[in-house]
Structure 1
Amino acid sequence: MNCRRYGSKPTIALWMLVAVADVALVVAAGGLLMVLLAVATLTVVGGGFLAARTLARREPEAAEAVVRRRA
C-alpha cells in the first residue's frame, strides 16, 4: 500500500480551495464594499510598513562617500 507524504500537492490544493471558499463566505456575509475597504486598508498599512523599514535601513550618505588620501 502506498502512503502519500504529508503536504502533498492534492492536500495543498484542497486547502487552497477551502481558503477561496472562506473568502467567498466573508464577501457574502460582509458585503463587497466592506471587503474592498479592508483589502485597501491592509494594502496601505503594508506599504507603510515596507516604506518605514526601507527608510530605517538606509545608511547615512556620509558613510557611503569614499575618502581618498593624498600620497
Structure 2
Amino acid sequence: MNCRRHGSKPTIALWMLVAVADVALIVAAAGLLTVLLVVAGATVVAGGVLAARNFSRREPEPAKAVVRRRA
C-alpha cells in the first residue's frame, strides 16, 4: 500500500501557483481596473466590519481589589 503524506510543501506550492494563475486569468478576463475596484471595495467593507466589531465590544468590568491584612 502506498503511504503518501498529505499537505507536503511541494503540494502546497503547486496549489499556490494554481491560485496565482487563477487570479491572473480573472484579471485578464475582467480587466485590471475592475479587479482593483472590487479588491478596494472588499477591503473597505472588511475594515468597516472590523471597526464595528471593535466599537461594539464591551469592556470587562475591572476586578475588585482584594485587600488582606497580614497576621
Matched, 1:22 2:22: yes
Distance 1:22 1:30 in 2: 12
Q: Structure 1 stretches of 5 or more lacking a match?
A: 67-71
- Quote the offset at 1:31 in angstroms: 0.2
Post-superposition Cα deviations, 1:18-67, rounded to whole Å, max 9, x if no partner, equal 0000000000000000000000010000000100110111338xx45x7x
Q: Structure 2 stretches of 5 or more lacking a match?
A: 65-71
Q: TM-score, normalised by structure 1?
A: 0.77
Q: TM-score, normalised by structure 2?
A: 0.77
Higher helix share goes to which structure? Answer: 1
**One-letter code aligned to 1:48:** G
**One-letter code aligned to 2:56:** A
Q: Aligned pair count? A: 63
- SS, match of residue 53 in structure 2: helix
Runs of 4+ in 1 over 3 A off after TM superposition: none
- SS, match of residue 28 in structure 1: helix
